[in-house]
Amino acid sequence: MPNVVLSDADARHLGQVSLLGLRFLTAVVTCAGLAAVPASAQGPPAFPVTVATPLERRITNWDEYSGRFEAVSSVEVRARVSGFVEKVHFQDGQIVKVGDLLFSFDKRSFELAVESAMAEVARAEAQVEVTSADVDRAEPLVKSRTISGQAFDQRRANLAVAQASKQAAEAALKTAKLNLEWAEIRAPIAGRISDKRVDVGTLIAGGSTPSPTLLTTIVSLDPIHFIFDVSESDFLRYSRLFLSGERSSSRDGSNPVRIRLADEKNWPHTGKMNFVDNQLSTRSGTLRGRAVVDNAKQLLQPGLFGRLQLFGGEADALLIPDSAIVSDQARKIVFVLGKDDVVEGRPVTLGPIVDGLRVVRDGIDKQSRIIIEGLANPAVRPGTKVVPQEGQIKAAAADLK
């Protein structure tokens, strides 16, 4: 290749061209490098979530308590007289009505006692008749001074003694007849009877003995009581509701209750408060309350455990879905949108479920934008930016049955 000699001007021009080419090449390489950087190196993408403001509603507060059912009436059946059991007239566990025959004793000794008492009454009546005739005959003789006044007074005294003996005999006859009636033990209340505690032929100790024999027991079923304890603070709150006139929501002015059993999810059993004890327990600081519940189907049995909801007044509340609440150790948190659609965690105080939604007592306000969908994405956490989509919180139809 031949040697080329460049002038100074040509050399300077060639240098400028080379410098421009180098700068262009550098720019191309830089752009290519930026294009090769992955999207994850530029920051995480914003994930879509559904947000909505809490549902505002006037709700009825129902406070929950645990307790047990108790029979309105419970009777230990014992005999009033002693005797031998001749027959048992019921099946163990059956439903009985007032006056149903339960046990019958051997009545022969009681019947003999009645006959003996009747004979004594007849003897006393004859004695009264004789002494009365003596008085009638002596009365004119006293006026004619044929007999003394002392003798007449003695005859009147004999008549009074005979009349008293007659009254005693008549009372003994009534007692004998009553004992004969008591030889049949009948149900004093209606309800479910337990099993028999004695068999036919057993000698029973009656009510006149120190320890009468227990024959069986009966508990009433309809209506039935529900017993529970309330704390001192709850008692004060209910008292203030009563003083403010917001005591109950029932027409008759009594405080309504709703109850469910251990295997029930809703509150199908309704009743009303009918008793509050007159003092708080010094040991537990609680007050005993009692509700009465209709039990026409006789499903509820004494001793059953249950949960009770007691009317606690009305208040304005904010409601959100239970699915929008997450747990953080011992706290409950909801995710809300903050500035620039950045997720924030808000600790909240929760209340009961109302129409399928959870009551939030504290931690949010009615303008809070709650994330109600999208929480399953692990990337949606406090501090992350999201793409909000507007939604709406709707209440389910109330179902108390």
**Structural domain boundaries of the chain?**
47-59+316-390, 63-70+226-313, 73-104+186-219, 107-182
**CATH topology classification for 47-59+316-390:** 2.40.420
At 376 the pLDDT is 82
- Region 278-306 average pLDDT: 91
pLDDT in tens, 157-169: 988 999 999 999 9
What integer is the mean pLDDT of 204-209? Answer: 87
28-32, 255-259, 314-318, range with the lowest pLDDT:
28-32
* pLDDT in the model for residue 32: 46
CATH number belonging to domain 73-104+186-219: 2.40.50.100
What's the pLDDT score for residue 204? Answer: 92
pLDDT score recorded for residue 30 = 46
Q: What is the pLDDT of residue 27?
A: 45
Least confident of 40-54, 180-194, 207-221, 259-273: 40-54
Q: What is the pLDDT of residue 23?
A: 52
By percentage, how much of the chain surpasses pLDDT 90?
Answer: 45
* Phi and psi based region of residue 303 (left: phi greater than 0; alpha: psi -120 to 50; beta: remaining): left
Residues 177-197: what's their mean pLDDT?
Answer: 95
Here the tokens at position 18 are 């080379």
Where does the pLDDT of residue 90 fall: very low under 50, low under 70, confident under 90, or very high at 90 and above? very high
**The tokens of 391 are what?**
């939604």
Would the pTM of this model clear 0.75, i.e. be above it?
Answer: no
Q: Which CATH superfamily is domain 107-182 in?
A: Helix hairpin bin (1.10.287.470)
| pLDDT score for 248 | 54
pLDDT tens, residue by residue, 272-291: 999 999 888 888 889 999 99
The fraction of the chain above a pLDDT of 70, given in percent, is 85
The predicted structure's pLDDT at residue 395: 82
Instruction: Evaluate if residue 401 carries a pLDDT over 70.
Output: no
**Architecture of the domain whose range is 63-70+226-313:** Beta Barrel (2.40)
Q: How does pLDDT run across 168-177, given as a tens digit for each residue?
A: 999 999 999 9
